[in-house]
Amino acid sequence: MIEFSAAQIATLCNGRLSTGTNPETLIDVAKIVTDSRDSVPGALYVAKSGEHADGHDFIPAAFAAGAVLALSEREVALDQGSAPSPALYPAVIVEDAILAMGALATAVVRRIRAHSPLTVIGITGSAGKTTTKDLLAGILEPLGPTVAPIGSYNGEVGVPLTVFRADADTRYLVIEMGATKIGHISYLSQLVEPDIGVVLCVGSAHAGEFGSIDNIAAAKGELVQALPAAGTAILNFDDSRVRAMAARATAPVTYFSSADAQETATVRTVQARNVRTTDGNPEFDLIFPGETDTYPVRSKLLGLHHVTNLLAAATAAHAAGATPEQIVASLNNQGAVSRYRMERTERDDGVTVINDAYNANPESMRAALRTLAELGAGGTRRTWAVLGEMLELGENSILEHDAVGRVAVRLNISRLIVVGTPARAMHVGAVMEGSWGDESMFVPDVQAAYELLERELAPGDIVLVKSSRDAGLRFLGDRIALPSKSTHENSQTSNPGERTQQP
């Protein structure tokens, strides 16, 4: 348990106590919440302002559920009546509640380091962060108390919430780092002070927000630049933009690669050789720097693109002290953990559903389509690609959607179902590439897609469902895979503006 008093929190956050707040009130950081419905006895409720609602409006609900202190940007009265000096909810008043959370997170990390050894590992990249985080946590957990994000908590709110789950004996803290503009990853790195930094890839996700792929590379490289000289930078040798980040590192660099060994002969590299798939599951022989022994990896994940994630997790774990034997045994035993990431379901009628609709960009779309094509190779099973919008692609959005539709045709996907007007260019691209008849169809919304699939799916079909998170196709994937089961995420929405998970 890590505790701070109200007075300490005020000092750490450069804030002040509201009138009547007991400065000795103790807060267990594990009880810091940003959603009033998560409040428990003894909680600190962070009243952050959201896009659609103001968290200050939920302070009464948080205290009714047991909160004893708020981290707030203004005072809120207990009694909204006309008394000239109403009593106030106990609070630490700060200028910016989210920045205050970050300051508290930094204090937690430093307190743990003062108590016992702690290795902080930051992971960033345009794709694969969550899977790599899950794999790495799976390797490290048997070696010592390990904390990693829930789902994709990777932003300025999610990272502090991950830190608050750590305690004084935490040995490994795995942090996923997302960004939507230059400076975000630098800020997150200042919060958690990583010892090891992993950069997976640079793709076109969020190109609309960053302005260019070069700006994305600059943002991801902030993690490398933030590492101390005694740390370790772990870079994807096979991505030229990531490989170039070595110039920004003061820490030693270790690469991971599935390229020809001759290309990486002059640098320290964790190598995958003889890369292949069996029924969509990646397999390769793993070689660690300075060793001649090879270690067979036979992953339970789905898709050849996961080789990058498997290699990254192996390299980070090795830098953190895990042995090759421990790493490989764990990788061979792990399947998908976080939802909606190449999540495979075999229905009783022989239909296979692959729900990969949490994130989508042109690179991950192509990777998922290649996996679908491989699973349908031989022509004995029909392949369905049910695709929705890829968000945040900026001015290239139409061209990128068009190109994905063309790729589906070139890969000989049996049926392409494009869902929603923003994604319609996929259908147009498929038609222009040579799709005819009902090989490619456009439907206006998720319900129309569901009704079409309910009518036409047949035993043996393989269905890939993929889109960006906010396109909502992940719920369509659930309905197809388990039509009698409603999803928890769909049935329990948050108070607007209170949730902290970022795409």
**CATH number of residue 398's parent domain:** 3.90.190.20
Q: How many domains does the chain have?
A: 3
CA dihedral 220, 311, 319, 118 (to 10 degrees): 70
The verdict on 224 and 322 lying in the same domain is: yes
CA distances (Å), origin 61, targets 20, 67, 495: 20, 9, 11
Question: Which residues partner with 92 through β-bridges?
Answer: 17, 71
In the three-class reduction of DSSP (H, G, I as helix; E, B as strand; rest coil), residue 34 is classed as coil
Which of 8, 426, 18, 392 is CA-nearest to residue 207?
A: 392
- Last residue of one domain, picked from the residues 274, 309, 333: 333
* Residue 358 within any structural domain of the chain: yes
Q: What is the pLDDT of residue 35?
A: 93
- State the Cα–Cα distance between residues 477 and 501, nearest whole angstrom: 20
- Last residue of one domain, picked from the residues 98, 124, 150: 98
The verdict on 162 and 301 lying in the same domain is: yes
- State the Cα–Cα distance between residues 182 and 184, nearest whole angstrom: 6
* Residue 111 within any structural domain of the chain: no
* Residue 400 within any structural domain of the chain: yes
The verdict on 352 and 459 lying in the same domain is: yes
- Last residue of one domain, picked from the residues 285, 303, 333: 333
* Residue 498 within any structural domain of the chain: no
CA distances (Å), origin 189, targets 102, 177, 182: 11, 9, 13
The verdict on 294 and 400 lying in the same domain is: no
Report the 10 Å Cβ neighbour count for 20.
12
The verdict on 321 and 381 lying in the same domain is: no
* Residue 444 within any structural domain of the chain: yes
The verdict on 328 and 352 lying in the same domain is: no
CA distances (Å), origin 26, targets 9, 41, 84, 225: 10, 12, 30, 36
* Residue 293 within any structural domain of the chain: yes
Q: What is the pLDDT of residue 310?
A: 98
- State the Cα–Cα distance between residues 175 and 191, nearest whole angstrom: 11
The verdict on 260 and 295 lying in the same domain is: yes
Residue 188: which residues within 8 A CB-CB, separation 6 or more?
Answer: 122, 155, 156, 159, 175, 177, 179
Question: Which parts of the chain register pLDDT below 70?
Answer: 80-85, 205-208, 483-503
Per-residue pLDDT of 75-102, as tens digits, reads: 999 876 555 667 899 999 999 999 999 9
The verdict on 211 and 308 lying in the same domain is: yes
The verdict on 304 and 173 lying in the same domain is: yes
Q: What is the pLDDT of residue 83?
A: 58
Would you say how long the chain is, in residues?
503
Assign residue 66 the CATH number of its domain: 3.40.1390.10
Dump strand ranges (E) for 343-433: 343-346, 352-355, 383-387, 415-419
The verdict on 429 and 326 lying in the same domain is: no
Q: Is 268 exposed, middle or buried (0-12, 13-18, 19+ CB in 10 A)?
A: middle
Q: Which residues form the domain of 486?
A: 343-491
